[in-house]
Structure 1
């Protein structure tokens, strides 16, 4: 009886862990876009995109495009000098 109970607890723990990992994966999205100059419309090369409050970020490429993994509710901060 004890062995079956221990096995059931282990199986339930694995199932719950799987559900949590799946939920965390769904919560994270890849955000892509293009950063352009407001006046000329030209793409900005080397603009920084950072998730506020973290060190996670990316830099725009030669076409001004970027891609970043962020969670729902994260705030992206854009900067260019």
Structure 2
């Protein structure tokens, strides 16, 4: 019985960890006209409420769910 309980516990924890994975997406937003960084641009994962804003160098870092599609 202890082995079965241990096995079920491992399966539940393993599934929870596998579904909670994210990946970090980083980048820089620049202007197409003059290649200058765009300060305060919104970067949002399409179809979600996950997003961030670029800093003074136009850089951003975003934790994206592993299920989200990126281009």
State the secondary structure of the residue aligned to 1:29.
strand
Q: Give the structure 2 partner of residue 10 of structure 1.
A: 5
How many residue pairs get matched? 70
- Matched residues in 2 for 1:54 and 1:12: separation? 35
TM-score (norm 1): 0.72
Report the TM-score when normalising by structure 2. Answer: 0.80
Deviations 1:41-77 (A, max 9, x none): 000001101111211100000000000011345246x
Runs of 4+ deviating beyond 4 Å: none
For structure 1, the residue ranges without an aligned partner over 5 or more in a row are 77-81
Cα root mean square deviation, aligned = 1.8
Give the Cα separation in 2 of the matches to 1:44 and 1:18: 42
Partner residue, 2:31:
37
Mapping of residues 1-81 of structure 1, within 5 Å: 5=1, 7-25=2-20, 27-75=21-69
